[in-house]
Structure 1
Amino acid sequence: MLRLRSEFDSFRDRLQMSLCHEPLRELSNPGASGSTFYLTSNDEFIIKTVQHKEAEFLQNLLAGYYMNLNHNPRTLLPKFYGLYCYQCGGKSVRVVVMNNLLPSVVPMHQKFDLKGSTFKRKASKHERSKRFPTFKDLDFLEQHPDGILLETDTYNALMKTIQRDCQAWLLYSSFY
């Protein structure tokens, strides 16, 4: 319990510094969810607005999600640090705080939002005209018809992590 408390205290201090030190930066959102994304100035956390149903879904996943993080610390799934609801003037705004999976210090040549589906999964003309567009599944298939070449060790580590993440997801969904 002391370890958990000390980790939480350290996290709380980091989060508070990240949120309060400088203004958040709003990110453009190419997705259809209508969520707004914010990035902390130190590039460590992303804050995403969520609808009531998504907040309920995250709450239902909590126990299994926590167990998965303990057994699979190298997960590629987002790490959720908090779910908050702010109420003002009869309106509720729900936000989830998560790690930034794509910090700006990591050089990116291309960025893809892959869902594993091809239905309506092509970046719009507007998105493609951006300096750093977010491409989708059909764009990936067009641009990389033979896939991406990875070193064997990298490929094996990536596949192992993805398999664990998928097994965890199947376990979560079997409970709900």
Structure 2
Amino acid sequence: MHVTLVQGDITTQRVDAIVNAANSALLGGGGVDGVIHRKGGPAILAECRALRASRYGRGLPTGQAVATTAGNLPARWVVHTVGPVFSPGEDRSGLLRDCYANSLRVADELGAETVAFPLISAGIYGWPVDDAARQALTVLRAAAPQHVTEARLVLFGADTHEVVERVAAGLS
């Protein structure tokens, strides 16, 4: 699988699946989650509500992933995952890596060939961008999915893109 870094808006990516850094309620929110729900339209929210009414009555657990339609987005599916909130006193990096691994697994099971990821937990959840990038790239570069041939890490803003490029170069 080829991993690429792209500066831009994840909701405009023409891929099979877009990963949503969701909250456990699956009902929309701020940041990437809010934008995906707004631009994707009511079909995404309707499927999220159905998931809450059936399998995830208490919400989607941190690190897990589940798929819905992509609604009006230029993708077939949205894979929702709940990232951990950063804590300087507790190592939650395993949960962050689980977000990438489980989202990739769900997308692969759907038959997706291309998947766009945000930098999970690096926004409102406070994860330092350099370490969030390290965790994401470690998982994505080691993965060997059956169907997915490209994973895009879509980075919002030039500063974030620059930091992630630097981390990626250091991991090579």
TM over 0.5: no
- Structure ranking higher on relative contact order (CA contacts 8 Å, 6+ apart): 2
- Larger-Rg structure: 1
Q: TM-score, normalising length from structure 2?
A: 0.29
